[in-house]
Structure 1
């Protein structure tokens, strides 16, 4: 299997996370482009075939975190992308669980398509009053 070139990796990440077209190859939807991507927290690896609901956290007050699909939401540099700011989830008002994975997907709720996923290190022990955060140092790298 071949690898993508560095320039194309950068173009690809900009298309997915910033909505920037790749000249002569791919355009962002003209009539109703996806303007927001959604981070989810998971108690186990949702897997390559999983949806955003697979092993998704379910503590009381949990909701996915919206991040703008623009350079205001994500920084793309070379073959990596990071959120511009920490991704903050609602504070647990009841229940406890441990988030071990994050995902970035297309839906605010429901099954949704996972675009990327990764392990949290360290895992987030969620309990009443604890603010779950995916830090802006979390990166996605294409190769």
Structure 2
């Protein structure tokens, strides 16, 4: 499900967008610092400033993720929130990468990893064009 192209987009330079909605259906979109490959069916997202996203996920665990490759090809993932890890190998590796990102941006005092949010990937697809509708594929 997570093709080599999708995995490469996880390592890209462009931030991903996560879209969640409250249990009442109110949407929220925010940028992410990291998308981390866990295994063929799971990813981890960096949890830094995601208060509204966190509240939404507690009422509705389904989310949508859009990532971009270095040549700006969009990739869409339908994901389901499972848990947050605050220790362990995934958390440790994500924290190290976040430190590098923060150092590069001069924001060491601002960026701090609260947790590695683990998601099950329900669907993953590459878009040929940014404007392509799902039924056009």
Structure-2-length-normalised TM-score: 0.38
Greater strand proportion? 2
Structure-1-length-normalised TM-score: 0.37
